[in-house]
Structure 1
Amino acid sequence: MHENGDTPTPDVEIPASPAHPVELRPFRGVRLSPQKVANPSTARAFARPYRDVATRLSRWQDEGLVELDLEPALYLHEYSVHGMTIRGLVGGLQLSTRATHHDERSVFAHEAIHPEQADELAARMYEMGMNPGPILLVHRGPATVRALQRRVMERQPDHAYTDRSGQEHRLWRITDEAQLQTIAEGLSDSRFMIADGHHRYAAYLRLQEMHPGTPWDRGLTMVVDQEDTPFFLGPIHRTFKRRSLLALKTAAASVSATTREVTETEALRALGPKTLVATDGRRWMVIDLPEGPRTSAVEFLHQRLLPTAGSDDVVYHHSVEEAITAATASYVSVLLPAPDYSLLDRAMERGHLLPEKATSFQPKPSLGVLMRSVDSELMAPPSN
């Protein structure tokens, strides 16, 4: 963890933040046709060489498979899958300012980023001339914006369909000046946590710095109100290379955590906010966190139990089954409980980072529902 202002390790960095007020700008949405959204073949359109992506999409546009809206708008996007619904405002987040103090920050990262990955994404987006999908920001939104969204949803959506993956989408364009002003005033003082897209966000910042005063001053963003349609926060489990249960037990004793060996069934049943589970594939151990200051299981694991574990020593898993399968005599898997939003709220309040891949926000929207062509904004808009 790096406290605000601390220097991160050389291979990671803390993304900067635009200063208040927050500005979410209208843009001319680019949309794939419903049969192309979440279609496995669609990925080929965004493959190398990236400079040809715009040409491929233009060809699809000629074939009626891509639509470009002529008039800029903010978009209310609602998507549903597996009984969960997420709803958010999509626009171009203005990035041309930089916060110099914690209180000025409007966007908070909950984990550090790898500079080379952000550099590669920035180069890729520049070659494409577009933001192929929005990053996801989560916040506690104001009641005025929630009420406006409900009013917008009283009319028929501009687009409604189910994509190839089974996600159901509804889109409303927002162009009314009074409604845009309500949104602008409501979001101006907001503080956002990056839910998905840390490296793409860092790439946005790089592109803004390289091309100031152009449409690269903005990056495509979806803003989700956790008081309205909260994401499901899932755990991301770990497998630690070159570790043993005995070494983990010794480390736990050194930080006043208690351990006990149990059966697999007992271990999985014990997993909870203050309890970790470790296995080498044969034996199972429960690790109970010590009493003390409020610390999440993932923070305790990386900051106290295994503070020397480097990125090369860890493999991440989104399911318990994957983590258990990866466990061996020299590859110990640690199962983590699902975090809650208070973990992210504390990170924003204290201005610090969480361990890498501390949580997984689900569900994420399918690629192609809304994209932003920066190249089209560099050109004069076509006449009606």
Structure 2
Amino acid sequence: MTTTGTAEHGLRLIPFHGLRYVPERVGSLAAVTSPPYDVVVRPDGLNHLESADPHNIVRLILPQADTPEARGAQAARTLRDWLAEGVLSPDPRPALYVYEQRKGDLLQRGLIGALALSPAAEGIVLPHEDVMPHVVADRAGLMRATAANLEPLLLTYLGEGTRTGAAAVVEGTVAREPLLATTTEDGFQHRLWSITDPAELAVVTADLDHRQALIADGHHRWATYLRLQSEHSEPGAWDYGLVLLVDTARYPLQVRAIHRMLRRLPVAEALAALDGSFRVRTVEGPLPRAMAALAEAAERGNALLLTGDGSFHLVTDPDPELLDRTIRRDRPEAWRRLDATVLHAALLDHLWQVPDEPEQITYIHDTAATVEMAERHGGTAVLMHPVREEVVRDLARQGVTMPRKSTSFGPKPATGLVLRALD
């Protein structure tokens, strides 16, 4: 995937002094890591991770306090304490980092570095989803207070699929001894290496100079990087943001859906509002079987699965007249046909009249957790089928953003293996 004719250059990934846990000062590296901040989904997620180790990274990415200001101050204080106590320590030489995730037959490798933010307006980094302003404000407050990039966002690019350029450097690096290796409770093995050799860094720079990247995960962090950059008029560390860059020609990502849990809408009310506008039929469980029925229906058109009342309700065949009335016409047909578009425009905005606000809608990556939460709160779980990666990339090339939280690319990098200080 090469740059458009309007771009003067491509991706610029620069080395940085990685801030990493000192193994001797923590129980284990696995015990101090976390999923990304928006994927802590289990009902006791924060308590579980905080109790795993007193230095778990969630104390930085999800500090517990009553106000945004207090959360930022708490995270900043914790980070200062950990640095002073030697729990975290910067690597002595600036580096790019090769990061590997492995589980069974799944293998992903990529480069972690500080990405120049200036090309964003030139079509070099392609977002594909809208963002929620309150989340950007929250992340910005946290980064501002800590003066750190606490977790990388996930970018993808399409290389040649051969062991040349950056790919050759990555594959050569993994033949060496890693800086760290750990296995997290989800069964993923994680390894990290550093690249400091000027010749190898030059190869990476030259290869990425004509590339575009798609934001696979981390749209809110990307928007936060850009906001914080705009607040600093002098060139410096805020002109870069921490990213993991994966060549999907060599390591294709998995694409999953992100589900919705409607806190204040019982399933019975949700179904009643669909009468005459959608076809609704009950499908058999358990959950994997119902999700298979959703996948089969999604091959033929729009399909959603509602649950939370102990049954599974497959929603298909929207009324064309309803879609014409509720979905904007100034977008490509592929965007107008997205399940997320139909859900937000026709259902949430029109039939259900549920505002897209945190106290109304919770976005959850894990399917079973979404169902469990809906049943616990007496709400409605809206289970989605994933969008194909080629649809995402094609819309992004056209500059069209999808409805927020439309996709979940993975595997996502573990948070806590390497951080970037901005001061």
1:271–1:160 Cα change, 3 Å = same
Matched, 1:271 2:291: no
Aligned to 2:125: 107
Aligned to 1:346: 394
1:1-384 alignment runs, 5 A limit = 20-34=9-23, 35-36=28-29, 37-38=32-33, 39-42=52-55, 43=57, 46=60, 47=63, 48-61=73-86, 65-81=87-103, 84-99=106-121, 104-142=122-160, 143=162, 144=164, 145-154=166-175, 156-163=176-183, 165=185, 167-211=188-232, 212-240=234-262, 241-242=264-265, 243-252=269-278, 258-264=279-285, 267-272=290-295, 273=298, 274=301, 275-279=303-307, 281=309, 284-289=312-317, 294=334, 295-308=337-350, 309-312=354-357, 313-325=360-372, 326=374, 331-375=379-423
Amino acid at match of 2:274: L
Unaligned 5+ runs, structure 2: 1-6, 34-51, 64-72, 321-332
Check whether the contact 2:154–2:413 (CA below 8 A) recurs between aligned residues: no
1:228–1:189 Cα change, 3 Å = same
Amino acid at match of 2:293: A
Higher percent of residues as helix: 2
1:158–1:195 Cα change, 3 Å = same
* Partner SS, residue 223 of structure 2: helix
Check whether the contact 1:32–1:369 (CA below 8 A) recurs between aligned residues: yes
Displacement of 1:250: 2.7
Q: Distance in 2 between matches of 1:134 and 1:233?
A: 18
Q: Distance in 2 between matches of 1:136 and 1:24?
A: 13
* Partner SS, residue 230 of structure 1: coil
Provide Cα deviations, 1:344-384, integer angstroms capped at 9, x if missing partner: 11221221111221122233222221111222xxxxxxxxx
Q: How many residues align?
A: 345
TM-score w.r.t. the length of structure 2 is: 0.72
Unaligned 5+ runs, structure 1: 1-17, 253-257, 376-384
Q: Distance in 1 between matches of 2:88 and 2:408?
A: 30
1:322–1:249 Cα change, 3 Å = farther
* Partner SS, residue 274 of structure 2: helix
Provide Cα deviations, 1:284-333, integer angstroms capped at 9, x if missing partner: 43233479954333333234454444213433333333444415998443
Aligned to 2:69: none
Amino acid at match of 1:150: E
Provide Cα deviations, 1:82-111, integer angstroms capped at 9, x if missing partner: 653321111111113552xxxx31112222
Displacement of 1:216: 1.3
Please say which of residues 351-360 and 121-130 is displaced more in the overlay.
121-130
* Partner SS, residue 342 of structure 1: helix
* Partner SS, residue 393 of structure 2: helix
Displacement of 1:45: 5.5
TM-score w.r.t. the length of structure 1 is: 0.78
Check whether the contact 1:245–1:280 (CA below 8 A) recurs between aligned residues: no
Identity of aligned residues (%): 30
Amino acid at match of 1:59: A
Check whether the contact 1:296–1:343 (CA below 8 A) recurs between aligned residues: no
Check whether the contact 1:20–1:105 (CA below 8 A) recurs between aligned residues: no
